[in-house]
A and B are shown apart, each in its own frame.
Chain A
């Protein structure tokens, strides 16, 4: 080849890139803009106002759903991160053996099985348990969220562990640290950035979930996304835009934090 190949200089590249960006960001920009609309419409501009943010923040249902979302996300992300950390240790701190790939697949199952399938399966499974035990609290949602958050927490933790020199843990064992002490004093401190990154990712994923939550939740257990879905069915007001905007801001903050934490070395 005479000239080196550069994708940027292919005909149509700029156009395609521009179309993609517009398709990706235009709807979001429009949504955010109309969150500040004075008029009760999501298509006709009636001047700037913060009233939808105000009304959303005083809406008891919104507050209730938000708190529930955070509660579920916090507990599920924590449990998922603990499980993911153990799984990551178990899959990286042994010599490779037949069946290890299968275990990776098992851990990452929620990434592969369609959510709707998991949702239906959980609905049937949990309804049986509900009949047997009579319990109908948040436990079901927390359990479901924990399960599908595990691979998201697992991936950054495993990546971090794979980059960590095994000889450090060996050195600790050589210097009389029991396996637990070696973990507490050497592995864990060096693993923290990975664990935090996994925790944040799991938190965002849980916060955002609709499909599985919709199937698993009992009456009066709306999370913010399912509440929004319910509202949209009845017609959209800029209040939904306002909630979405706040939600977007929160996600951006968490993902940015995730980015910095997971980039941190040493």
Chain B
């Protein structure tokens, strides 16, 4: 027994490609409001270690169903020969030109015995007589089949569709191709397996593999996020000044540079999380200083808008609750957190050579000397932030972003939209995160400490991201 194939067929523009994109988690499936976008059958195999467990087939829609059915009826002998006539229809040389779409969509049905048919209709448009020839042809093909009602628009004609489809299909289900949550997708796959006794095992196996894969993606996302947060907490920009230069003249530019650097870190991490979920072409406009009116910005706000900090940051009480150690660390940071904009720590070291901290400068000063720069200049720097709230803001945004991406179907063609809020930290979790971050806040300069922090943060984040997407199984 070979792996089952599930061929998605139907009228044009009813979401066949969308269903395939969603189930195959593949955004390359061509989904388009233009009918006739899919012109040939496309196969999307699900493979486990190179072994195909099942294959989804996207097909063009019926274009001349009445004439095709008429041809079949004209060549009818006995009802038990119907599948053979469908095969003849497909193989008839003239039909490649006369019925290109029907041939392309019926060929996968006659090619392989382990084939199930999924007939897709739009539950938001009324049933009409033009659908009957299609369904009749599918009946003739004689494969196990199921009807899927995909409610594309707001109107509701589902009941009428159930009645009509019930006459041709043993199983009728409602499935929203574009918004279906993970659990719904798994249930649909299970239903595919039930079309034929022999398909249950490979489909079950496939579902298990998909669940494992999904958990692995969450793990990889957690890794990316913890990396980014630790990097953000260590981030610093600096500028070497002439001995008598006025540091205030450089302050603004440096702070701007610092903020932009953090934005870049966040943006980069989001890109990579999207990649983990196989979204490569996602539209997510970049957040830059001054351009707050974009998809991400509208929902999440700019990383440094004061609203963002109120939404994602912790209150003073929460900060205090985390224990004396942490609050001592935070110091004055807690106050500036409220408006968020000036949390960067602007420092000015007396003389470069004498240096403050020295760990950033460590790599640079010798170089400066080598370049023959005058001694005695001063080093202006912004960061690293000692403010734990920065970490919580970044984490809160990362959680929202991850949840939206993890639940997004690959049939969607709109830009990513993130809700303004919706995820909370409970006290225990908050404490665990703060604990994990403490070393890097204390010693941002220490690479070993940073690595250690990442190791401690990651498992916590895996739990967080899992519970954020808990409805999706696991």
Does A associate with B in a complex? no
* Chain B residues engaging chain A, CB cutoff 8 angstroms: none
